[in-house]
């Protein structure tokens, strides 16, 4: 990229029968597919059967999608959804929180560990490498969507975003590059440190701490928490990661007693493989979820035709894409494009 760049990318990948498929959603689909393929290639020390690989892929996909949406609605968009409860399951209108993706993924991993009698730390270690990949490609989707922007700057690689005034730091590209570098680092740790929980601890800390620094270039909303919801969660996650790193060190030195199960292992099922090939229902469910991911447009709930009509001509309101106003009711007047502005037309906080 030579000199400042003006963002004019069409966010829609394809239109099929009145349903829009998005580059943003493609990031989720590619991330979940890579997670599944990574588990099929071995998945570290878990030694899963083929059927268990498909089960874990489903647990993670559902956990991430539900967690991302639940946290976004609860923390940032509840005033809108309180008045539109029928739109709670409308992923195709947008609304996903990054920290919610991680929380939902952790819950999915814990439920799988409990159900199949697997040590939680080993399950987590097997998942963090593809998780870093998902978070990396997901940030590319955020960039194409054009909703999350950084502070105004005159650096040579600055970007003029569709809904923001001036040239700004492409903070989502910074974060995406950080996540992909984290994946490479975790692959190295995986080869040299077999301690249960070593990978998971490093993921939690090295995801959150550098992101806190990167997000200093963002303009977080402060209507709930002093630093902004995302930055506050970054700090909490970094502290949890530091504690996990300390415990991992003690475990490696033999100073920490206890199993890698973290209390979620069902001892009656521990060590039992679920034999047999994957079920047809598992294959169909996973394929359906990957296709469903493509319908997710953005990190923030949107009036699709109003928001993207100038970037993708021909968009119209329908029962799938109703005319809605997701702006916070008491938002002050602020410059267009900043993250303290109302999401229509300036974009939402979107962690």
Write out pLDDT tens, residues 8-48.
999 999 999 999 999 999 999 999 999 999 999 986 678 89
> What pLDDT is recorded for position 271?
52
> Sorting pLDDT into bands at 50, 70 and 90, what band is 225?
low
* pLDDT at position 284 over 80: yes
> Residues 313-342: what's their mean pLDDT?
67
Inside any domain, residue 275: yes
Inside any domain, residue 105: yes
Inside any domain, residue 129: yes
**Residue of 163 and 23 predicted with greater confidence:** 23
Inside any domain, residue 307: no
What stretch of H or E contains 16?
A: strand 12-16
* pLDDT at position 268 over 90: no
> What pLDDT is recorded for position 275?
72
Q: Can you list the positions of beta strands (E) in 132-288? A: 159-160, 167-168
> What pLDDT is recorded for position 185?
98
List, in sequence order, every residue forming a beta bridge with 12; answer none if it has no partner: 22
Would you mind telling me the total number of residues written for the chain in this entry? 351
Beta strands 159-160 and 5-6: pairing type? parallel
* pLDDT at position 343 over 50: no
Alpha helices in the chain, H assignment, sequence order: 23-40, 50-75, 78-82, 98-116, 120-145, 171-192, 198-214, 229-252, 280-293, 304-308, 343-346
Inside any domain, residue 42: yes
Indicate the range of 256-260, 301-305, 331-335 predicted with least confidence. Answer: 331-335
Inside any domain, residue 4: no
Instruction: For the beta carbon of residue 317, count every other beta carbon within 10 angstroms.
Output: 13
> What pLDDT is recorded for position 265?
55
> What pLDDT is recorded for position 272?
59
The single-letter DSSP state of residue 11 is S
Q: Tell me what percent of the residues of the chain surpass a pLDDT of 70.
A: 85
> Sorting pLDDT into bands at 50, 70 and 90, what band is 328?
low
For tokens 């799988």, the residue is 112
Domain residues for 119?
19-302+313-346
Inside any domain, residue 8: no
> What pLDDT is recorded for position 137?
97
> What pLDDT is recorded for position 219?
74
Inside any domain, residue 278: yes
Indicate the range of 139-143, 161-165, 260-264, 341-345 predicted with least confidence. Answer: 341-345
> What pLDDT is recorded for position 273?
57
Count of structural domains, the chain: 1
pTM > 0.85: yes
CA distance 170 to 214: 10
> Residues 232-243: what's their mean pLDDT?
95
> Sorting pLDDT into bands at 50, 70 and 90, what band is 269?
low
List, in sequence order, every residue forming a beta bridge with 21; answer none if it has no partner: 14
Instruction: For the beta carbon of residue 42, count every other beta carbon within 10 angstroms.
Output: 12
């Amino acid at each position: 990229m030579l000199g400042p760049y003006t963002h004019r990318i069409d966010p829609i990948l394809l239109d099929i029968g009145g349903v829009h498929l998005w580059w943003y959603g493609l990031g989720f689909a590619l991330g979940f597919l890579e997670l599944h393929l990574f588990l099929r290639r071995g998945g570290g020390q878990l030694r899963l059967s083929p059927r268990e690989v498909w089960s874990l892929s489903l647990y993670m996909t559902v956990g991430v999608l539900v967690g991302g949406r639940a946290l976004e609605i609860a923390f940032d968009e509840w005033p809108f959804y309180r008045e539109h409860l029928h739109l709670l399951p409308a992923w195709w209108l947008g609304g996903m929180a990054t920290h919610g993706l991680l929380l939902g993924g952790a819950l999915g991993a814990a439920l799988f560990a409990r159900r199949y009698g697997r040590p939680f730390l080993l399950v987590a270690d097997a998942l963090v490498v593809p998780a870093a990949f998902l978070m990396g490609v997901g940030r590319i989707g955020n960039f194409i969507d054009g909703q999350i922007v950084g502070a105004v700057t005159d650096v040579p690689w600055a970007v003029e975003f569709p809904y923001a005034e001036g040239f700004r730091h492409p903070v989502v590209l910074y974060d995406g590059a950080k996540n992909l570098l984290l994946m490479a680092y975790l692959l190295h740790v995986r080869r040299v440190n077999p301690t249960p929980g070593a990978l998971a601890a490093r993921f939690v800390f090295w995801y959150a701490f550098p992101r806190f620094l990167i997000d200093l270039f963002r303009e977080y909303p402060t209507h709930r928490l002093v630093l902004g919801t995302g930055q506050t969660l970054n700090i909490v996650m970094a502290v949890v990661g530091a504690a996990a790193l300390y415990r991992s060190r003690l475990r490696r030195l033999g100073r920490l007693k206890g199993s890698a199960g973290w209390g979620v292992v069902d001892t009656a099922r521990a060590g039992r493989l679920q034999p047999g090939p994957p079920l047809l229902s598992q294959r169909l469910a996973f394929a359906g979820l990957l296709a469903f991911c493509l319908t997710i447009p953005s990190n923030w709930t949107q009036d699709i035709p109003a928001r993207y009509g100038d970037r993708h001509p021909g968009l119209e309101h329908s029962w799938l894409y109703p005319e809605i106003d997701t702006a916070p009711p008491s938002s002050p007047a602020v410059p267009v494009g900043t993250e303290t502005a109302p999401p229509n037309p300036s974009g939402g906080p979107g962690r």
